[in-house]
Amino acid sequence: AAKARGRGCAVVFDPSLFAQAQERFELENDLRGAIERNELEVFYQAKADLKSCHLYGVEALLRWRHPRRGLISPGLFIPIAEENGTIVEIGHWILHEACAQVKLWHDQTPDGPLLELSVNLSPREFRQQNLVAGVAHVLETTGFPASCLHLEITEGVLFEDIDAAAQVLRSLKDLGVRLDLDDFGSGYSSFRYLRQLPFDLIKIDREFTFALNPDEPSSEQLIRTIVSMGETLGMKVLAEGVETEPHRSTLQRLGCKLGQGFYFSRPIEAGQMKTLLEGNASRSMEDAA
Ligand code: C2E
Ligand code: MG
Ligand code: MG
Ligand code: MG
């Protein structure tokens, strides 16, 4: 019988596959109502100027504090939320939560440049009809300045229907928000499409940073190429995955101005981020003095 079903077809009972399916089923069940039960949290990770190490912005990153399993990372549950559609509600929740939080930080530090906030949009969020109205509503109710909000979108979202995507991007731009292309280089990056799309910033996928190696000139040349492409297109460029001082200094030498990664800070809770930002602000005051 196994033969008849064709090769590669698992007819034998595989306990580990069963456990995986079981886990997924449980998570999917638990995810419904996670917002109402206050189990979702926003962590923040600093974005920094590679030269001065000044922290000029934060990216909001979702965490799920599961009552039995503890802290679950988005890599595990966002695909589930994406599949069953709960991502739309979750996405709206984190956008509101993060805008309200960073607005509070703005209000607490009225002088100096306002902190930027980046929020990720998944493919399903990007395709939903109410996206633009939802973002507008959050900006209005929180009073968060549109020009400080960056929405991060991955390449995969764009190429399904490039014309439809371009139209949504333009409507978002009309709200005054910024658009960042996340994980650039990890998918089917197309320079041709990029030219036609109103992105403000390109985030170089962290794999390019990890691949940096003094013995492999091509690893540096790739970064240079993306940086100069960004310059040509009038887009800023940020490198992900900056984990070490050599990462920071090499990227800076290659012309990249902005970075994000464990070298500056891991994603941390709002309270910890506030402390980090306060140190940042007093350091830049010393620098100025
Ligand atoms: P992303 O948007 O590319 O976020 C960066 C991820 O890289 C984060 O993982 C962050 O913790 C990790 N990272 C940052 N710096 C370093 C580093 O120096 N080294 C290494 N090895 N990793 C670093 P995280 O928080 O687990 O998030 C994973 C992905 O889940 C995100 O990738 C994003 O695509 C998605 N995600 C997170 N929060 C949300 C959200 O609120 N909505 C949506 N739609 N997706 C989200
Ligand atoms: Mg991101
Ligand atoms: Mg990314
Ligand atoms: Mg990523």
Instruction: Tell which atom from ligand 1 comes closest to the C-alpha of 94.
Output: 41
Separation of alpha carbons 54 and 52, rounded Å:
5
The protein residue with its alpha carbon nearest to ligand 1, atom 3, reads: 183
The residue length of the chain stands at 289
pTM of the model: 0.93
pLDDT tens for 107-162 read 998 888 999 999 999 999 999 999 999 999 999 999 999 999 999 999 888 877 88
For the record, the structure tokens of 38 come out as: 């206050």
Pocket lined around ligand 1, Cβ cut-off 6 Å = 45, 61-62, 73-75, 78, 91, 94, 120-122, 125, 152, 182-183, 206, 241-243, 260-262, 267
Which of the four pLDDT bands, split at 50, 70 and 90, describes residue 66?
Answer: very high
Give 232-279 pLDDT, tens digit per residue: 999 999 999 999 999 999 999 999 999 999 999 999 999 999 999 998
With cut-offs at 50, 70 and 90, classify the pLDDT of residue 2.
very low
Residue of 41, 55, 61, 245 with the most ligand 1 atoms within 8 Å of its CB, for mutation: 61
CA of 14 to the centre of ligand 1 (A): 31
Alpha helices in 14-85 (DSSP H): 15-31, 74-84
| Matching residue, tokens 């658009």 | 179
Rounded Cα–Cα distance for residues 8 and 26 (Å): 27
User: Which ligand is nearest to the Cα of residue 122, counting in written order?
Assistant: 1
For ligand 3, the distance from its centroid to the CA atom of residue 208, given in whole angstroms, is 12
The DSSP 8-state label assigned to residue 45 in this structure reads E
Q: SS3 of 237, please?
A: strand
Terminal CA-to-CA distance of the chain, rounded, Å? 80
Nearest residue (by CA) to ligand 1, atom 33, is 120
Question: How is 219-233 classified by DSSP, letter by letter?
Answer: HHHHHHHHHHHHHHH
How far away, in angstroms, is 33 Cα from ligand 3 center? Answer: 27
Cβ–Cβ under 8 Å, residues 156 and 149: no
